[in-house]
Copies of this chain bind each other. A is one copy, B any other.
């Protein structure tokens, strides 16, 4: 085991690095933590030694010294699939960094304020805000007034004063629409998401714009309102598919609703994708549970949560060492995932 550990290169200590670089452990620590007050010459030596020895800080030892960081997670009512993916990312990054995750649920508007207070009482050093709370102005305002490090995740319109991790929903939806157009679809239906969610707004706008750019006007009867739930998707799908003429494709604003569209289409004895192509958004597990599997835009939810936790921890450490911190806006890559639910128009 010891052999394995040193093979994987995780066994060098701060002293090993110091010796190799010809400096004190303190200097290494300063370099590792990005503290000011190290000459460029020594910094370089240290950086080289770290690289050669493949040094990584021992987070357990650090935590023993500075105390365990607590990251609060304020979660509202997203889909179970989204929350799972998010938790996996947040928990794994917290584990890697030796931090703890504090969970706090809240539904209502007053609930938000109380949940934030509870998180602070329980010693949260920073707060993670996934949807839908990242789009709740009251919660965002309270958090920035408190001055506690905060990162909003997957909001399409991040506030300037707060760090955020997101994808470009507009671009993603544009790509998906253009893909459908490239498959020969010109008559495309759209299932909107919860109007309170900024990503839902941008995805819809992108769809309309891309259609117009291709010379197609989207008639009102091709658009149905959904709320991101499977159930709302069923209703929207019935609405779209009970028109005198049917679209050849439907773009649903998330995977849950796309799965519902598939179910309704099958109920009407339509073949997917031959009679109707269907696509979703997010690439949550439901996209590969239903059959045919869904073409969708993959939003890297797990990686976004990892990234958000990393930002938060960096923010805390900068703050503790008295450094300035400016909000970071991280844009993550999205991917078009083509599966069986779309194809050339019939």
Task: Give residues in A with beta carbon < 8 Å to B.
Answer: 1, 4-5, 7-8, 58, 60-61, 63-64, 68, 79-81, 84-85, 87-88, 91-92, 94-96, 98-101, 120-123, 125, 230-231, 234, 256, 259-260, 262-264, 266-267, 269, 285-286, 288-291
The 3 closest A-B pairs by CB, nearest first: A80-B285, A84-B84, A60-B63
Task: A8-B123, A61-B64 are known; give 15 further A-B pairs, CB within 8 A.
Answer: A4-B120, A4-B121, A4-B123, A5-B123, A7-B121, A8-B122, A60-B63, A79-B285, A81-B285, A92-B101, A95-B99, A230-B290, A234-B291, A263-B263, A266-B267
CA gap between A269 and B267 in the complex, in Å: 7
CA gap between A120 and B302 in the complex, in Å: 26
Partner of A95, one of B8, B64, B85, B100: B100
Query: Given A4-B122, A234-B291: A84 and B94 within 8 A (CB)?
Result: no
B88 contacts A289, C-beta separation under 8 Å: no
Dominant secondary structure of chain A at its interface with chain B = helix
Beta-carbon nearest neighbor of A99 in chain B: B95
A60 contacts B4, C-beta separation under 8 Å: no
- What residues of chain B lie closer than 8 Å to A58, measured between beta carbons? 64, 68
CB of A107 to closest CB in B, whole Å: 15
Beta-carbon nearest neighbor of A264 in chain B: B266
24 A-B contacts (beta carbon < 8 Å): A4-B120, A4-B121, A8-B123, A60-B63, A60-B64, A79-B289, A81-B84, A84-B84, A84-B87, A84-B88, A87-B88, A87-B91, A91-B95, A92-B101, A95-B95, A95-B99, A230-B289, A230-B290, A234-B291, A259-B289, A262-B263, A263-B267, A264-B266, A267-B267
CA gap between A7 and B87 in the complex, in Å: 27
B123 contacts A1, C-beta separation under 8 Å: yes
Query: Given A88-B87, A266-B267, A267-B267: A291 and B98 within 8 A (CB)?
Result: no
- What residues of chain B lie closer than 8 Å to A61, measured between beta carbons? 64
A81 contacts B289, C-beta separation under 8 Å: yes
A291 contacts B96, C-beta separation under 8 Å: no
A288 contacts B80, C-beta separation under 8 Å: yes
- What residues of chain B lie closer than 8 Å to A81, measured between beta carbons? 80-81, 84, 285, 289
Which residue of A60, A120, A286 has the most chain B CB atoms within 10 A of its CB atom? A60
CA gap between A99 and B96 in the complex, in Å: 9
CB of A204 to closest CB in B, whole Å: 22
CA gap between A5 and B120 in the complex, in Å: 10
